[in-house]
Chains A and B, each alone.
Chain A
Amino acid sequence: MDLTFTPEEQAFREEVRAFVREKLPAALRHKVVNSLRLTRDDHVMWQRTLHERGWGGPGWPKEHGGPGWNAVQQYIFEEECASAGAPRLIPFGIKMVAPVIMAFGSPEQQKRFLPDISSARKWWCQGYSEPGSGSDLASLKTRAVRGLDKDGDHFIVNGQKTWTTLGQHADWIFCLVRTDPQAKAQRGISFLLIDMKSPGITVRPIITLDGAHEVNEVWFENVRVPAENLIGEENKGWTYAKFLLGHERSNIAGIGISKREIERLKRVAATEKKNGKPLLEDSLFSAKIAQIEVDLMALEMTNLRVLSDEANEKAPGPAASILKIKGTEIQQAITELLVAAVGPYALPYKAESESDEEGDIGPRYAAGLGAHYCNMRKLSIFGGSNEIQKNIISQQLLGL
């Protein structure tokens, strides 16, 4: 057993750290570490910066223009980026649809779509969930009917997707659609890439409890999609979807983010006063921080064990579910303590805040903490809710 990173891995960490330190603009970092809302341009700018360095697709193999990193390198990269306050990579293009296109797309599709993803020329969003199909995704109803006319082989898509994160910015959406209504649930689903500018698509905002516009409804009304945008085989979409969900583990636990947030929590608690003394010296409060820190330490170790198993090609078991549950619980617990730390100053409402300059209500670091806490409730709901993750774990354990 050896808990240390190899000298090569250490050197790699230094390289990433130096790069982020040099390239990440201070204003952007400020927004990220204070959980202020990022614009589309903020995300695109950072993605382009990474792309220029050849790191636009951190998990991508060399043959598709990626750096060809192994799982440990990807982990180190993400951890360094997160703790330095770089924006998280918007996963839909880089981590979700790209691996599917690499594994199941045609060479033409790979040539056509992949370069625009790593260079952030095109923004992707994910069209899986529907109003009636959340946890039970296989029950989805959006219909795609194949036809041939003078303009060629195509699908006509009708239906509604929902909860589409940042769909308002998107150029493309990857969708699961039902192509065979007669087949059993999972068997009649196909994986389609759809241009968001196609006639018949309507995007409507959903405002979340923190007052922000982050998710959308996407309506399809007789939307024509060229058959060349079908990934793999018709009615095999579920296989690709499952591949996608199981694919990305390097950052599911959010270790780097949590480390950064704990530092922030301590900074806030060192500044806030209780009985005239720093809140950080209050034994009850500091014990709560300590509890989160030790939980995070354990999770980091678990995460590294998973990575090492993966490198040795051992079956991962329910690891992804464990990392997701614990990782999101820890992230949510930190937001609770941040709110408790600033007390009533978490209450002034700041929606869609892109800056904390204007506010002179309460300390500057308190701006948006309440909204952030509200927003982070989503972590245990999306990406397969934590209840569903526990079902997956217990099904594997009990096999009943």
Chain B
Amino acid sequence: MDFSFSEEQQQLQDAIARFVQGDYSFERRHKILKSADGWSREVWQGLADLGVLAMNIPEADGGLGYGPIEALLAMQSAGPAMLCEPLLDSAVIATALVRDFGSPEQRAELLPAMGSGERIVVLAHTEAAGRGQAVWVETSAKKSGDGYVLSGHKAVVSLAPAADELLVSARVSGQPGDAEGVAVFRVAKDASGLALKPFKTLDGRRAADVVLADVKVPASSLLGAPTVSANVAIDRALDLGLAAVCAEALGVMEATVNATIEYLKTRQQFGQPIGRFQALQHRTADMLLHLEQSRSMAYLAAMHCNVADDTQRRKTLSAAKVVIGNACRFIGQQAVQLHGGMGMTEELNVSHFFKRLMAIELSFGDTDTHLQRFAALTQRDIPLAA
């Protein structure tokens, strides 16, 4: 067993940490959030120059061909900056989907452009009734002439307003919840019948509900091969996203715990630093327990997100999301509480960490959803008769 990172991996981590510390200060982020778009091309280009956008792209497709451990390190290092650019959405999830499921032509067209920062692609998949279950797709794709007609409603699609093109999942056969029958279509942002309802989210990002009212797309917009269901590819891309968001959460939680410790050492009440009060010491210790458990699970998730055995992979990733979801809530809430009134202010980073952690807890399936998925998967392991 070896939990150390290679020199190259460490360099990647350091480079991103330096970038976000230098180019993505709290003030800069605040300005970007307040701008009309709510994200920055310049920062995006900066990330491209660092190679981060190409990390998930195979060398054969013009990328760096890194694996999940590098993704973990990148997301963890970027975590404290709470980037409002589509790093997770385009560079992790969408690249994975195109890489693993796209035709050679689609890969050649999209991947180099995504890796260089020229093209932003976002997967529009989740639906309101799905509650984080990857298979729940009500959006329909009906064959029409030599193309398809898409209708449906995708809910709270993170960073959709920043995308040049969307990858939209839609059902070509079966019922919501069926494990088969879903396809993915490339849809241009200006496609007729496609409406984005953009909004800000609590954690400052931009998102949109995506409404598809009879959007006509040609057969060539189908991602991958027409005969193969995309469910597995989506599931795996989302699992990669889940592992990545766990890593991001780890980075945010580290920063949150550090900020709280610093505050406990400096804030004086009753003539002493409040960190002298044992009630707060124990609370801080509990925060650290949650953090270390989360670190373990973020590592585990990264190491399992490419495992081919579905049960094994899903079990581990659900376990990670449960541990990390609970930690996000505990650490976020305690950080605000221990900062007292200051923790409630927009002026302090802690309140922004709190909101990002809350958003992460609700994304990619919430804690209950994953606890239930884990239970369903593990209960199969128990032999019925002793």
**Cβ B155 vs Cβ A345 within 8 A:** yes
Report the minimum CB–CB distance from B126 to chain A (whole Å): 7
A346 located at the interface, meaning its Cβ lies under 8 Å from any Cβ of chain B in the complex: yes
B269 located at the interface, meaning its Cβ lies under 8 Å from any Cβ of chain A in the complex: yes
Query: CB-CB < 8 A to B368: which residues of A?
Result: 282, 284-285, 340
**Cβ B280 vs Cβ A387 within 8 A:** yes
Query: CB-CB < 8 A to B366: which residues of A?
Result: 340, 343
Alpha-carbon distance A70/B201, docked complex (angstroms): 47
B126, B202, B268, B280: which contacts A370 (Cβ < 8 A)? B202
**Cβ B341 vs Cβ A276 within 8 A:** no
**Cβ B341 vs Cβ A134 within 8 A:** yes
Given the interface contacts A343-B131, A348-B207, does A135 sit within 8 Å of B345 by beta carbon?
no
- Interface stretch of the complex, out of A89-97, A206-214, A233-241: A206-214
**Cβ B344 vs Cβ A136 within 8 A:** no
B337 located at the interface, meaning its Cβ lies under 8 Å from any Cβ of chain A in the complex: yes
Query: CB-CB < 8 A to B131: which residues of A?
Result: 273-275, 343
B201, B352, B372: which contacts A284 (Cβ < 8 A)? B372
Query: CB-CB < 8 A to B126: which residues of A?
Result: 344
Query: CB-CB < 8 A to B177: which residues of A?
Result: 275-276
**Cβ B156 vs Cβ A211 within 8 A:** no
**Cβ A381 vs Cβ B344 within 8 A:** yes
Given the interface contacts A343-B366, A344-B156, A381-B337, does A136 sit within 8 Å of B270 by beta carbon?
yes
What is the predominant secondary structure among interface residues of chain A facing chain B?
Answer: mixed
**Cβ B355 vs Cβ A345 within 8 A:** no
In the complex, residue of chain B having the shortest beta-carbon distance to the beta carbon of A129: B341
B306 located at the interface, meaning its Cβ lies under 8 Å from any Cβ of chain A in the complex: no
**Cβ B371 vs Cβ A370 within 8 A:** no
**Cβ B344 vs Cβ A209 within 8 A:** yes
A285, A385, A390: which contacts B340 (Cβ < 8 A)? A385
Report the minimum CB–CB distance from B351 to chain A (whole Å): 4
Query: CB-CB < 8 A to B8: which residues of A?
Result: none
Q: Mark B154-166, 1 if CB is under 8 A from A, else 0.
A: 0110000000000
Given the interface contacts A284-B371, A339-B362, A349-B200, does A136 sit within 8 Å of B345 by beta carbon?
no
Given the interface contacts A209-B336, A284-B372, does A163 sit within 8 Å of B202 by beta carbon?
no
Q: Mark B343-363, 1 if CB is under 8 A from A, else 0.
A: 111110001101100110011
Report the minimum CB–CB distance from B197 to chain A (whole Å): 6
Report the minimum CB–CB distance from A131 to chain B (whole Å): 9
B128 located at the interface, meaning its Cβ lies under 8 Å from any Cβ of chain A in the complex: yes
B333 located at the interface, meaning its Cβ lies under 8 Å from any Cβ of chain A in the complex: yes
Interfacial residues of chain A within 251-293, with CB under 8 A of chain B in the complex: 273-276, 282, 284-285
Report the minimum CB–CB distance from B175 to chain A (whole Å): 9
B209 located at the interface, meaning its Cβ lies under 8 Å from any Cβ of chain A in the complex: yes
Q: Mark A340-356, 1 if CB is under 8 A from B, else 0.
A: 10011111110000000
Given the interface contacts A136-B270, A209-B351, A275-B177, does A346 sit within 8 Å of B340 by beta carbon?
no
Query: 5 smallest A-B Cβ distances: which pairs?
Result: A209-B351, A344-B156, A136-B269, A347-B201, A349-B200
- Residues in B lying within 8 Å of A, measured CB to CB: 126, 128-129, 131-133, 155-156, 176-177, 197, 199-204, 207, 209, 268-271, 274, 277, 279-280, 329, 333, 336-337, 340-341, 343-347, 351-352, 354-355, 358-359, 362-363, 366, 368, 371-372
Sample (12) of A-B pairs whose CB atoms are under 8 Å apart: A132-B268, A134-B341, A135-B270, A139-B271, A215-B341, A273-B129, A339-B358, A345-B156, A347-B201, A362-B155, A385-B340, A387-B277
